[in-house]
Amino acid sequence: MGIAQNIVEVRSEIPSGVELVAVSKFHPASAVMEAYDAGQRCFGESRVQELLQKVDVLPSDIRWHFIGHLQTNKVKMLVGKTSLIESVDSERLLKLIDSESAKAGVVTNVLLQVHVAQEETKFGFYPEELLEYFRERRFETLTSTHICGIMGMASNTDDEDRIREDFHRISEIFHQVADDSALGLRGFDKLSMGMSGDWQIAVDEGANIVRIGTRIFGARQY
């Protein structure tokens, strides 16, 4: 099956109200174009250089989500190029995005990445650290960054109960913040969880953004 047919199939399975991010990292611009021609407009990249190269040659109405670990020395290059940075994994990175966005005269939309998975290699705020950030209202210092919600990943395991548990925990953290009227947050309504192998469980647990690559583009092309 081709990319266009895969897109149509995946979109038919995803409930309305859930946004599909087609993860195009490691795939050529021509593959993105096939998905674009099939109606897809939101794509996910995990390397700054690769995203910038694609931005240059692909249609301007594509909404780019940055979904990889963002190194601080790449922030300046990325600001102004994305519709959403999903993977803000520390307060230091968030402050840097904010200051670079202010300098560039743009507002950058971000998700804060929370770490609940078993692997130490995954990045993100620990749950208590993230909740404390909001409790202490430290977001009020931001001038050019809008926190739109939370992103998270489940443990890399075949144990569906563990995956569901992880997504449930991420969803709980999201709602603790989103439902706290005392915080007065506006537009804090995005919960990004789930990839090709586990997105159905993520949607069951409340995800309204899913990141799907392999199901659409096939195995990675380096």
Choosing among 3.30.70.250, 3.40.50.1580, 3.40.50.80, 3.20.20.10, the CATH entry for 3-217 is: 3.20.20.10
Could you tell me the pTM of the whole model?
0.96
Q: What are phi and psi of 75, to 5 degrees?
A: -60, -50
In this structure, how many other beta carbons lie within 10 angstroms of the beta carbon of residue 75? Answer: 19
Contact call for residues 154 and 190 (beta carbons, < 8 A): no
User: Can you give the pLDDT at residue 62?
Assistant: 98
Q: What is the pLDDT of residue 119?
A: 76
pLDDT at 101: 98
Q: Give the distance from CA 12 to its chain's centroid.
A: 21
Residue type, 146: H
DSSP string, 70-128: PPGGGHHHHTTS-SEEEEE-SHHHHHHHHHHHHHHT--EEEEEEE--SS-TTS-SB-HH
pLDDT recorded at residue 122: 72
List pLDDT tens digits, range 36-74: 999 999 999 999 999 999 999 999 999 999 999 999 999
Q: What stretches in the chain show pLDDT beneath 50?
A: none
DSSP letter for 35, please.
H
Please give the pLDDT value at position 41: 98
pLDDT score, position 84: 98
The pLDDT value recorded for residue 51 is: 98
